[in-house]
Structure 1
């Protein structure tokens, strides 16, 4: 069990090390159809999938670019959850390190 001082230290590190919602939304707005915000948030596989969809759509002028655009819109609502998940993983890792 962690004492109060250790818990405060963990929360300070989370504040300093967690991904920025502002940066995530800027990346989403300007480069989101290419998945850049997902790379920033640590979701490499889905970032690559979104990038591939968009590039395929650009090359073929096809439906996949519309799918990428829809995914881009949905991500506007998913970004807060992705950031919360990142903070929770960071909190769990730091707690495990402090508990040793």
Structure 2
């Protein structure tokens, strides 16, 4: 069974309303990048925690020079995320789309 055009339009509207904003993600990256705030926002909690821990450990051990490579790694990771954010948002939209499609398909059909 496939979805009607009206159901597909409803799903796309809900995806548009529920999807994460790229503007918010980029602002979080620019202003709070080392803390992993953009990854928390995009639902990448595990990698966000790793990024946050690396950032904190890097600053705490900066005095003994061990922290410098860690902070450089966090900075490189943040720069890489500049290019990864669009893919993360597309993935989020696809998951929302699949969830709503499954919900509509599970409803009993009238008529």
Q: TM-score with structure 2 length normalisation?
A: 0.89
Give the CA deviation at 1:65.
1.0
Question: In the alignment, what sits opposite 2:53?
Answer: 52
User: Of the two, which has the highest radius of gyration?
Assistant: 2
Q: Which aligned pairs between 1:31-70 and structure 2 lie closer than 5 A?
A: 31-61=32-62, 62=67, 63-70=69-76
**Counterparts of 1:51 and 1:68 in 2: how far apart (Å)?**
9
Alpha-carbon RMSD across the aligned residues, in angstroms, is 0.5
Unaligned runs of 5+ in 1: none
**Counterparts of 2:27 and 2:20 in 1: how far apart (Å)?**
12
Aligned residues: 100
Q: Which runs of 4+ in 1 moved over 4 A?
A: none
Question: In the alignment, what sits opposite 2:77?
Answer: 71
Question: In the alignment, what sits opposite 2:88?
Answer: 82
Which structure carries more helix by proportion?
1
Q: TM-score with structure 1 length normalisation?
A: 0.98
Partner residue of 1:91 out of 89, 97, 103: 97
Give the CA deviation at 1:25.
0.4
Unaligned runs of 5+ in 2: 107-111
CA-to-aligned-CA distance 1:59-88 (integer Å, 9 cap, x gap): 001111111111000000000000000000
